[in-house]
Chains A and B, each alone.
Chain A
Amino acid sequence: MEELLDAIRALGRFPLLVLRLLGDFGIFFGKAVFWTFTPPLKFERLLKQINFIGTKSLSIIALTGGFTGMVLALETFYAMQKFGAEALLGPTVALSMIRELGPVISALMITARAGSALTAEIGIMRITEQIDALEVMALNPFRYLIVPNLLAGLITFPLLTSVFDVVGIYGGYLVGVKLLGVSAGTYFGEMKNYIDMAEVVHGLYKSLSFGVVVTWICCYCGFTTGYGAEGVSKATTRAVVASSVMVLVCDYILTSLLF
């Protein structure tokens, strides 16, 4: 009888754990939003985080954007050639970049470069009692640590995504026009016919959401890290994995909502 009860208890424990975690995660976001709208804003910290998440990710975003555009043009060209639709290379590359690849791949790259560092930094601040020190000084850790990161994510993700898109489209231009011989007029001209503001807004919504999701998850994991170096390393791994998965999940949800 006892064993049976134990088994049932164990069964119940897991969903409870998950619920608790989700609740915690939600409350964390609620607090972050509350403190975002409670002045004063720590402007200096915000600038610092924009520099850290944004400016310092520029080169990696440009690099991956360029290669993504290039390979996209290459693959699309061969597919299009089969139906004799090479003229539509430009719009196809631009559409995929702006609607899909730009927001998603930039979010993944920023997660890898800045998100992990964010978790590690906040995690180390937690285990070395720096967050406690803030609290004892009656300074709210959300205001100093979390809000600047969330806002920086909200600002930098769309900007980095646009850089990614532009470099990618030029990468596609290099391959399509210079290498495969599509005329430059066709590449860009057709693009104008097919892409309108709606597509850009679609991509913008996505990158804004990813900016929030990634910084939220990374800050949360750092803030709630376990003890010691091991705790921080686990938190960092968890942050990167969870952010990447959530970016893809949100991407699907947003695409189906925004269609």
Chain B
Amino acid sequence: MIEAKNLHKTLGGHKVLDGVSFKVEKGEMLALIGKSGVGKSVTLKHIVGLMKPDAGRVFVDGKDILEAKGRSLEQLRSKFGYLFQGGALFDSMTVFDNVAFPLKEKKKLNHQEIRERVLFELEQVGLAGMEKKFPAELSGGMRKRASLARCLVSDPEIMLFDEPTTGLDPLTANTINELILKTYERVRFTGIVVSHEIPGIFSLVHKVAMLYEGKIVAYGTPEEIMEVDNPIVRRFIEAGIEQGRRKRGVREL
């Protein structure tokens, strides 16, 4: 269970979060949507405690992650898998070592088990045969997938995905969504997905929250969100739908 209570944060003189509150129940998936630059990544960073809010609190399974220190922080953090927007692969290591890293450091597995686990996970994200490459030798989309493999490999209880499918072709994007779903089926993690895939992401999640000017302006099941009257939310969702079936193009000009 994740609960953000009244988060405030000013970054570079600009109020990014202005009282953000929401709750994700255990085993629930939440889609966090909103315009680019609205503070979605910043919100995720607050949830794992990478950023400290100016005011407000974050509870993970009932424990305040901002107050946690040492062992207890380590325990809380161990529950998380975090897919960074930029991938954040360790560029001094090969893809294999990157994905194996959390297993080697955290789990008591032998060499062979780690190898099997990593190769399986790489195959799942469609990167079989790439394990000897370094992150710099991969394309942007491949890096994102390798990073996803690194998150999923340790079966975390809580997953935070920062735009898992942005920058991928539709086919790969589908595979990734399938993979998230398949992992969910197996692990039943609590999850937050930041996504610009509207309304595509709606079918993947239980709840949707929209961030606008530092606040959550809409929250509910995907069906509820589609029915919301708030013009800000409507415009945003309609733009997403429209993008899927664009009518005008340069060819007509």
Q: How far is the CA of A121 from the CA of B102 in the complex (A)?
A: 21
Determine whether A135 belongs to the interface, using a CB cutoff of 8 Å to chain B: yes
Main SS class of interface, A: helix
Scan A119-135; emit 1 where CB is below 8 A from any B CB, else 0.
00100110011101101
Q: Which chain A residues border B90 with CB–CB below 8 Å?
A: 125, 130, 133
Q: Quick check: is A10 within 8 A (CB to CB) of the other chain?
A: no
The answer to whether B220 has its CB under 8 Å from any CB of chain A is no
- Contact present for A130 and B89 (CB under 8 Å): yes
Pick the contact of B86: A121, A129, A135 (CB < 8 A).
A129
Please tell me if the beta carbons of B86 and A128 are within 8 angstroms of each other in the complex. yes
Is B178 an interface residue when CB atoms closer than 8 A count as contact? no
B96 within 8 A of partner (CB): no
- How far is B77's CA from A137's CA once the two chains are assembled, in angstroms? 6
| Chain A residues, Cβ within 8 Å of B78 | 138
Nearest CB of A to B109, in Å:
15
A129 / chain B contacts, CB cutoff of 8 Å: 84, 86, 88
Residue of B nearest to A129 (CB): B88
Give the residues in chain B near A1, CB-CB below 8 Å.
none
Q: Is there a chain A Cβ closer than 8 Å to B185's Cβ?
A: no
Contact A137 B105 (CB under 8 A): yes
Report B-chain residues with C-beta under 8 Å of the C-beta of A5: none
B75 contact set on A, CB distance < 8 A? 138
Residues on B with C-beta less than 8 A from A124 are 91
Chain A residues whose CB sits within 8 angstroms of the CB of B102 once the complex forms: 137
Known contacts: A138-B106, A139-B105. The answer to whether A128 contacts B88 by CB under 8 A is: yes
| CA–CA, A139 and B107, complex, Å | 13
A148 to B229, CA, bound (A): 57
Closest to B12 in A: A227
Tell me the chain B residues, 48-79 only, with Cβ under 8 Å from chain A. 48, 50, 73-75, 77-78
Q: Quick check: A132 and B88 within 8 Å, CB to CB?
A: yes
Instruction: Specify the chain A residue showing the minimal Cβ separation from B77.
Output: A138
Centre residue among B84, B86, B88, B91 by max chain A CB count within 10 A: B88
On whether the beta carbons of B91 and A137 are closer than 8 Å, the reply is: no
A-B contact pairs, 29 of them (CB 8 A): A121-B92, A125-B90, A125-B91, A128-B88, A128-B91, A129-B84, A129-B86, A130-B89, A130-B90, A130-B91, A132-B50, A132-B84, A133-B84, A133-B90, A135-B48, A135-B50, A135-B77, A136-B48, A136-B50, A136-B77, A136-B80, A136-B82, A137-B102, A137-B106, A138-B74, A138-B75, A138-B77, A138-B78, A139-B106
Which residues of B are in contact with A by a Cβ distance under 8 Å?
Answer: 45, 48, 50, 73-75, 77-78, 80, 82, 84, 86, 88-92, 101-102, 105-106
